[in-house]
Structures are given as C-alpha cells and as structure tokens.
Structure 1
Amino acid sequence: MLRRVAPPASGDEAAAAGSTTMPEWLETLLSTRFFLACGAHPASPRNECNMFCLDCPSPSPAFCYYCRSHRHQSHRVIQIRRSSYHDVVRVTEVDDVLDISGVQTYVINSAKVLFLNERPQPRGAGAAAGKAAASPYNCEICARALLDPFRFCSLGCKLVDTKTGGRVATVPAGEVANDDAAGGSKNVGGARPQGRRRKGIPQRAPFGS
C-alpha cells in the first residue's frame, strides 16, 4: 500500500533542495534498466537485476543478488524496488550519500521510499486523476501533482533542477484547461474555429391528405 508521509519539518531544507551538487553515479542510476533477468545466472531463482553499485569506477549495469556476492561484496550497493510499475529506492539506502531534500516521499511496506524518475500524470475521470486535479502542490519540473508541499516528484526531476540552476519553466497543471473554460483560448493564425457545418435548409414535412 502506498501512502504519503509528512514533508520536511524545516522549510530551509526544501529551499536548498537544488543547491547541492549531485554525485556522478546518479545519472547512471536514473538511466539504468532494472528487473531484467541476469545473463550470468539465468537458472537461479533470484536472478532479477535490481541492484546498483555506488563504488564501481566505471558505470556498471544493474546486477542480481548472486553478482553482488561475487563482485560487489565490499562495495556500497543499493537495491531498487517497484511500486505501481515504477522504480523506487528506500530513503535509508541513499540519504547518507545523496541530498534528497525537497523530493516527495512515500511509505511502502513500512519503509519510506523515493521515486527515481518522473511518472505520467494521472488523466481521465478516475480517482487518481481527481486527486491530482485537486492538489495545490506541483512538481517544479514536470508539474506532476504532489501530496504535500515538496518541490519535486522524483530524484530525476531534482537532478534536472540542479543541472539547470532552477531555470526550467513548467506549465502549471490544469492551466490549459482553465484557459479554455474561461473562454481565453486563442486562434492561431486567424483561423476560424471549426464547428459542425449545416447540411442544408431544413424542410417542413408535407401535411398528410
């Protein structure tokens, strides 16, 4: 079950979320594909590649439980998990090596986690879309609705903010819909709005004799 946790108690921490330089391995972590079968241990029961090494000098792909025992026994290794088909990492595994302030956190199976990358915004008329539309908080990078007053929805969005110095502008969620509802939409190039064309002059049915 996925549930929210309270935002950081100090507002100063959230304000300084993008001021710290991120480690070099973070971009590799965010671009790595996890949960594929390990080619070195195809017949083993725990062969899904859901581990990532922080100490290997060159970018290493994800590896499985058996690879960790053989090649990364003395290294710092984090385990990636899944929530709603998206990759997450436990806060306890990265909070001492990574500045995670300002990133929305959740609790899954009694453990606080962070999403690695941006997720699609809920759309339509479902419960998730309704909650997103009602949320007053949005990610500063992708405009995804947040549950609490955090700045980012994921580590990936915080990395974008750090690399750009906070100069990435986003369109607030629902802005286009609000403009349309208020009649503020504009025609491009003077084109007339396309409406339903009338097929012809209506004719009254003849009276019966």
Structure 2
Amino acid sequence: MRAEEENNRRWPPWLKPLLQEKFFVQCKLHADSHKSECNMYCLDCTNGPLCSLCLSFHKDHHAIQIRRSSYHDVIRVSEIQKVLDITGVQTYVINSAKVVFLNERPQPRPGKGVVNTCEVCYRSLVDSFRFCSLGCKISGISKSFDKKRKDRANNHSDSDDSYSSTLNKNEDMIHNSFTPSTPPLSAVSRRLAKRRKGIPHRAPFGGLIIEY
C-alpha cells in the first residue's frame, strides 16, 4: 500500500484521470452546437472532457487539447512537456507537430530487425526511448510493475526448465520405443546351423527321346 502511495505522489493528480477519459464524444451541455466535440481537458478540475464552449467556465484554469491520430489520443509535446516530464516516451511527428500518445498501443508482432520495444506493451520503438505512451511510462517505472516483471521472468524461466525436462524425457521414450533390439549372436548361429542344403531338381527334358 505504501509503494502505491509513493507511486501516486510521483505523478501530478490529473494525469491518471486524464488517461482514463474518453475524448471526442459529444458534450452533454452543448449538444446542439457544432462545436460540441469534447477534446479539451482541465488540469485543475479533472472533471472530465470538455468542449470548446465549456472552456468559458475555466478561464483561469490550465486546459490542454487532446488530438487524435489513427483512432488514438495524442497530445502535442509543446503542451504536455510544460507540466509533465516525458523523458523516455517516444515522440511522433503528426501534421508537422511533435506529439506523444496517451495510452498504450500493443503490437503483438514487432517488425523484422526490431531491437528495441516498449517495456510495457512491446511496441517497436526507436533505440533512445523506453515507452510508447504516457500510460506505459506510468506502468513501467512503478514498483508494482517491476515486481510483476520479475515474477513473469521467473515463471518464464521455470517453464523453460520444465519444457526442457519434458522434452528430454520424450526423446528418451522415443529412442527406447523405436530402437530395434539386436538378437544374441548364439541365436543367430543356431538358426544358421539348422539350415540344410535343398535337394537339386533337374529339368525333366533330360531323358526325353524325340523320334522323327
């Protein structure tokens, strides 16, 4: 419990609520307006996504804009780096602006030749980065995640040892089942000694007389 509290104090109080929100939904207060799409977030209130019309109620607050790329939420580096340390999170250039993704985007099969992946969701990364999103950074450097990672590594090692042991046993069983046994030499000798030479059969035409 204490480790979880320390981890929470490491991050600003608005970060986790931000990552859990669903943006680009219609604002309930301004549903009749064409500007009712909720793509703003107030870091002071942390009371859910806001539309541009809602900002009139947050004039003196710090609000940031959430953008979208390939159905995933992103935020511009120029905005987020003023209020959060994003070291280790890979940045991307979208519409001529540097952005970071809010949440993980798992990639089960990294491309060929990839040597660096996100420490949390294993997405392909450039060599100088550790995480693919802000959410992955939160998970990746928390103490609870380190413990899970060590337990997973130990379980993987144990399963490998178990697999190797089972494989060796199976190989022994296959070898014993399919290796033919060699008969003793004495039995072969006795079998050859009992063989007798057969009686030759001559052709019946030897005593045939042909008269003209």
TM over 0.5: yes
CA distance in 2, matches of 1:72, 1:188: 64
| Counterpart secondary structure, 1:145 | coil
Partner of 1:154: 133
Partner of 1:60: 47
Give TM-score scaled by structure 1 length: 0.65
Query: Equivalent of 1:137, from 100, 104, 116?
Result: 116
User: Does the Cα contact within 8 Å between 1:52 and 1:63 map onto a contact in 2?
Assistant: yes
The letter for the 2-side match of 1:64 is: C
Aligned-residue offset at 1:169? 2.0
User: Does the Cα contact within 8 Å between 2:106 and 2:122 map onto a contact in 1?
Assistant: no
User: Does the Cα contact within 8 Å between 1:80 and 1:88 map onto a contact in 2?
Assistant: yes
Query: Equivalent of 1:35, from 19, 24, 38?
Result: 24
Displaced runs of 4 or more, over 4 A: 187-190
User: Does the Cα contact within 8 Å between 1:22 and 1:99 map onto a contact in 2?
Assistant: no
Distance 1:154 1:185, change over 3 A: farther
User: Does the Cα contact within 8 Å between 1:30 and 1:156 map onto a contact in 2?
Assistant: yes
CA distance in 2, matches of 1:188, 1:30: 45
Partner of 2:57: 71
More helix by share: 2
Q: Deviations over 1:103-145 (max 9, x none)?
A: 000011111000000013165xxxxx6xx33221111122211
CA distance in 2, matches of 1:106, 1:149: 13
The letter for the 2-side match of 1:66 is: L
Distance 1:189 1:72, change over 3 A: farther
1:113 equivalent to 2:99? Answer yes
Larger Rg: 2
| Counterpart secondary structure, 2:122 | coil
Aligned-residue offset at 1:74? 1.4
Distance 1:45 1:140, change over 3 A: same
CA distance in 2, matches of 1:161, 1:186: 29
Q: Deviations over 1:156-191 (max 9, x none)?
A: 01011233276152889xxx9xxxxxxx9949989x
CA distance in 2, matches of 1:71, 1:189: 66
CA distance in 2, matches of 1:38, 1:185: 55
Q: Deviations over 1:51-76 (max 9, x none)?
A: 111112xx3010100001x2111111
Q: What's the C-alpha RMSD, in Å, of the aligned pairs?
A: 3.1
Give TM-score scaled by structure 2 length: 0.64
- The number of equivalent residue pairs is 154
| Counterpart secondary structure, 1:158 | helix
CA distance in 1, matches of 2:21, 2:112: 31
The letter for the 1-side match of 2:52 is: Y
Kindly indicate whether structure 1 or structure 2 has the higher relative contact order, using CA contacts under 8 Å at least 6 residues apart: 1
